[in-house]
Amino acid sequence: MATVIPFKAVRPTRDKVSLVASRSYQSYTQDELEARLNYNPFSFLHIINPGYKYDKQVNGKERYNLVRNRYLEFKEDHIFIQDKTANYYVYKIVNRNGNVFSGIIAATSTEDYKNDIIKKHEDTIECRETIFKNYLKTVGFNAEPVLLTYPDNDIIANIISKVQKERAEFEFTTHFRDTHYLWIIDDIKSIETIQEEFETIKTIYIADGHHRSASSYLLSEELKSENKLHTGKEPYNYFMSYLIPESDLKIHEFNRLVKDLNGLSKEAFLIRLDTMFRIENRGLDLYKPNKKHHFSMYLDGEFYSLYLRKSNYKFNNALDALDTQILYKTILKPILGISDLRKDNRINYSYGKNDLVTVKSKVDYGEYAVGFGLVPITIEEIKAIADEGLTMPPKSTFIEPKLRSGITIYEF
């Protein structure tokens, strides 16, 4: 049963939250970073990019220590405050497309991760796990929750709905026109009810944040081994998560782009495809697939529909039924010679929010020879993969919501 507990969040003050909150560091262009660092002294980017203060690039342990120092300065200057009691936090995002995401920010158990109560569907890279584990150990906090999803629960939903009728502690809109809200659940009855309801849930699933989850687990094991008085109740036994019901999750596809046809002519390539797919030339009409095992292909100025010949393909498990795996097993590896989807620089990805117009333009400009469009993977497919202990090919899903850093912070 899932252990989901309240915690004492460190938060920006109400008047500064919109200035503090930041996207993931990698999502900013260099110009955007410089603008925010130059003109916004309250941005969380100052904490995670501490060398800016000294006009110096810093890395490794030196950077981790400076991150810790900047964080403490934000607390000393009362930009951040810490709640005096352990709370749950209702967090809601309404994005520019009208999608609404509502869930609970809480602390989740590293033991649940170890025992497969919190299940994953992606592989993690060991060196990245270790790097982030060392970072967490030095800085002593986590500022971006892992995105988890759980089966819809009426009792939790009713509490969330009731809380949202009150004035939000935080309400701010980003320049992307996404509006963020945060409410505090601090009454004992609601806290007990939420905790009890999560204890009835057998499995929750990682939607986004596999490396952060793995690193938090590694850190808990390390600190446990160093603590002779370990009880299991220490903050390092938990990590901050944003838990939303499955019905709120928004999953987009990642389309594929390949730089060349692996030495094949267009005609030879199409003939090779014919073994596994029923092919129809759609000409200039932008074809977007709308069923599982149907694919769109853009090649030499024309769209094609590709329908899998199921009689020629074996479905041995949940992974084999996944469209990203089908594309890999039938085209990318055997025909285009792409074995390593993580390292081969001949393949690139375009998430579905950019749609097939992006794929078409990149092929038309000669950056790539061929592009493939897919339908989004469903939450049922994600759960089936996780339940069978399998992992998806990289870039199988682009999942919303995407969370901001620095709105709630978990210390350990």
Task: Answer yes or no: do 235 and 303 share one domain.
Answer: no
Task: Answer yes or no: do 295 and 314 share one domain.
Answer: yes
Task: Answer yes or no: do 344 and 273 share one domain.
Answer: yes
Q: What is the mean pLDDT of each run of 10 residues along the chain (412 residues)?
A: 97 97 89 92 95 85 96 97 98 93 98 97 89 97 97 98 97 92 98 98 96 97 97 97 97 96 98 98 94 97 97 96 97 97 92 83 97 96 96 92 95 96
Domain count, the chain: 2
Task: Answer yes or no: do 177 and 309 share one domain.
Answer: no
pLDDT, position 354: 63
**d(Cα 98, Cα 136) in Å, to the nearest integer?**
35
Task: Answer yes or no: do 173 and 34 share one domain.
Answer: yes
Task: Answer yes or no: do 73 and 206 share one domain.
Answer: yes
pLDDT, position 353: 66
Task: Answer yes or no: do 405 and 389 share one domain.
Answer: no
Strand-strand pairing, 10-12 and 80-82: antiparallel
pLDDT, position 27: 85
Crossing angle of helices 126-139/60-76, nearest 10°?
40
Structure letter (DSSP) for residue 405 = B
Under a CB-based contact definition with an 8 Å cutoff, are residues 119 and 204 in contact? yes
Task: Answer yes or no: do 231 and 284 share one domain.
Answer: no
Contacts of 163 (CB under 8 A, 6+ apart): 90, 183, 185, 190
Task: Answer yes or no: do 131 and 30 share one domain.
Answer: yes
Task: Answer yes or no: do 67 and 208 share one domain.
Answer: yes
Specify which residues 206 forms β-bridges with: 148
Under a CB-based contact definition with an 8 Å cutoff, are residues 185 and 159 in contact? yes
Contacts of 135 (CB under 8 A, 6+ apart): 64, 67, 215
CATH, residue 352: 3.30.1760
Task: Answer yes or no: do 274 and 323 share one domain.
Answer: yes
Task: Answer yes or no: do 225 and 278 share one domain.
Answer: no
Range of the domain at 356: 254-396
Task: Mark 91-123 as b/e (b = at least 16 C-beta within 10 Å).
Answer: bbbbbeeeeebbbbbbbbbbebbeeebbbbbbe
